[in-house]
Structure 1
Amino acid sequence: MTAPHFEILGPDAPGPVVVEVPHAGLGLDPLTARGLGLPSIALDAGAPWADSDVGAAAVCEGLEARGVRRVVATASRYVVDLNSEPRVPTPYEDKLPPGLGDVRRFSCAGVMWWERRRSRAEVEALLAEVFAPYHDAVAAELAASCARHGRAALLAVHTYPDGGRKDAPDVVLGTRDGRCARPAVRDALARAARDHGLSVGVEAPFPGGYSVLRHAAPCVDAIQIELARALVCSPGDRRRPALDPDRVARMTAVLRSLVDALAIELSLGAS
């Protein structure tokens, strides 16, 4: 199924694991339609790509063989951040003169620009068009998995620019300090990642964002997984990241192993 600003991929019969990729998108149509498009300095530098979760959608390909249903954003995070609590301008902010409250943007592409502050009406329209349908779709997939299997897990897949730091973890698992998933589920994922020779950070530096908080439930374990960008990208200019097919293939296999470990742990929890 293809919705205006996200895709739902996978088998007709849902398995216990649902994957979401909220920062995969590059589409800017909802902005340009409202006269809010990015300036040429951002577009010329490739900011939508550099500031997306580069490779996060690619490593999830083929998960339908594990019975996984995927909800993958196609709208850029510049339209609306699907992993952050929505913030609507107050009536006071909405009355500020032009220029006041404008937002300064810094991009991983190495450029900076000022963006016009969005009005309350513009923000509410983007939330209704992009944000709400996306999260409604994630919730529906999880409800279907819970109904079929008794339990479900949401794996929110991200990549992060590690900046070339040698001490940056390969994988970071976030559950908001256990508020969004049982420790046994998180630990099973950590073991599976370490079995592949990857270093693992738990709850830091990424404790989990809006999605895991929103969708965690008594029958849903919600885990955010951050993969260091170096695992999927070629060495070189970090401002213009390029996917390395061999690295992507390796991480695709790793993610399938993590999904398998997650499914086993869910079956134990449901028994």
Structure 2
Amino acid sequence: MTAPHFEILGPDVPGPVVVEVPHAGLGLEPLTARGRGLPSIALEAGAPWADSDVGAAAVCEGLEAMGVRRIVATVSRYVVDLNTEPRVPTPYEDKRPPGLGDVRNMSRAGVMWWERRRSRAEVEELLAEVFEPYHEAVAAELAASRARHGRAALLAVHTYPDGGRKDAADVVLGTRNGRCARPAVRDALARVAQDHGLSVGIEAPFPGGYSVVRHAAPGIEAIQIELARSLVCSPGDRRRPALDPDRVARMAEVLRSVVGVLAAEVAGGAS
């Protein structure tokens, strides 16, 4: 199924694990339709790509063979951040003179620009058009999985620009300190990554964003997994990251192992 701003991929019969990739998108249509878009300096530098979760969608390809249904955003985080609690401007902010409260954007592509602040009406339109339909789709997939299996799990897949730092963890797992998933489940996934020779961070620096908080519920575990960008990209210019097919394939194998253990943990929790 393809919706205006996301895709739903996977088998007709859902397994117990649902995957979402909220920062995979590059589309700017909801902005351009409103006469906004990004300035040429940002587009020419490739800001939408550089500031996306590069490779996050690629490592999820093939998960349908494991019964996974996945929701993949096609709209850029420059339109709306699907993993951040939305903030609607107050009536007072709407009354500010033009220019006050404008936002400075600094891209990992190495460029900076100013964006006119969004009005309350614009934000509410984007939430209704993009944000809520996406999360309603995630909720519907989880409900279908739970109805079939008794329990379900959401795995929110991200990549992050580790900058090649030696102290950066290869994988970071976040559950809001056990609020969104049982620590035993999180720790089981950590062991999978470690068995693949990867270093693991627990709850820091990414404790889990809006998605895991919104969708965690009794009978639904929600876990965010962050993969270091260096695991999927070729060495080189970090401002214009390029995917390395061999690295992507290796991390796809790791993710399949993670999903397999998560499915087993879900099944064990239902017994």
Instruction: Report the Cα offset of residue 171 of structure 1.
Output: 0.1
Letter in 1 for 2:267: S
Instruction: Report the Cα offset of residue 163 of structure 1.
Output: 1.0
2:211 matched residue in structure 1: 211
Secondary structure class of the residue paired with 1:265: helix
Secondary structure class of the residue paired with 2:265: helix
Give distance in 2, aligned partners of 1:28 and 1:250: 31
Aligned residue runs from structure 1 range 228-247, under 5 A:
228-247=228-247
Aligned residue runs from structure 1 range 9-88, under 5 A:
9-88=9-88
Could you report, residue by residue, the CA deviation over 1:23-64 in whole angstroms, capped at 9, with x for unpaired residues?
000000000000111001110100000000000000000000
Letter in 2 for 1:202: I
Give distance in 2, aligned partners of 1:186 and 1:215: 16
Letter in 1 for 2:55: G
Give distance in 1, aligned partners of 2:72 and 2:49: 15
TM-score (structure 2 length as normaliser): 1.00
1:150 matched residue in structure 2: 150
Give distance in 2, aligned partners of 1:261 and 1:167: 27
Letter in 1 for 2:179: R
Aligned length: 271
Give distance in 2, aligned partners of 1:187 and 1:145: 23
2:191 matched residue in structure 1: 191
Secondary structure class of the residue paired with 1:105: strand
Instruction: Report the Cα offset of residue 184 of structure 1.
Output: 1.1
Instruction: Report the Cα offset of residue 6 of structure 1.
Output: 0.1
Secondary structure class of the residue paired with 1:204: coil
Give distance in 2, aligned partners of 1:50 and 1:70: 23
1:99 matched residue in structure 2: 99
Give distance in 2, aligned partners of 1:221 and 1:267: 12
Which aligned runs of 4 or more in structure 1 are off by greater than 4 angstroms?
Answer: none
Q: Which structure 1 residue ranges, 5 or more long, are not aligned?
A: none
Instruction: Report the Cα offset of residue 92 of structure 1.
Output: 0.5
1:90 matched residue in structure 2: 90
Secondary structure class of the residue paired with 1:247: helix
1:138 matched residue in structure 2: 138
Give distance in 2, aligned partners of 1:149 and 1:199: 32
Instruction: Report the Cα offset of residue 230 of structure 1.
Output: 0.2
Instruction: Report the Cα offset of residue 65 of structure 1.
Output: 0.5
Give distance in 2, aligned partners of 1:209 and 1:36: 27
Secondary structure class of the residue paired with 2:2: coil
Give distance in 2, aligned partners of 1:19 and 1:108: 26
Give distance in 1, aligned partners of 2:41 and 2:94: 27
CA RMSD of superposed structures (Å): 0.4
Q: Which structure 2 residue ranges, 5 or more long, are not aligned?
A: none
Give distance in 2, aligned partners of 1:3 and 1:132: 12
Aligned residue runs from structure 1 range 156-171, under 5 A:
156-171=156-171
Give the percent of matched residue pairs that are identical in Structure 1 and Structure 2: 87
Letter in 2 for 1:119: S
TM-score (structure 1 length as normaliser): 1.00
Could you report, residue by residue, the CA deviation over 1:172-204 in whole angstroms, capped at 9, with x for unpaired residues?
000000000001110110011101000000000
1:2 matched residue in structure 2: 2
Instruction: Report the Cα offset of residue 135 of structure 1.
Output: 0.1
Give distance in 1, aligned partners of 2:140 and 2:85: 20
Give distance in 2, aligned partners of 1:175 and 1:155: 10
Secondary structure class of the residue paired with 2:20: strand
Secondary structure class of the residue paired with 1:64: helix
Give distance in 1, aligned partners of 2:35 and 2:188: 47
Give distance in 1, aligned partners of 2:172 and 2:35: 37
Give distance in 1, aligned partners of 2:22 and 2:252: 18
Instruction: Report the Cα offset of residue 153 of structure 1.
Output: 0.4
Instruction: Report the Cα offset of residue 267 of structure 1.
Output: 1.1
Give distance in 1, aligned partners of 2:8 and 2:171: 25
Letter in 1 for 2:29: D
Letter in 1 for 2:154: L
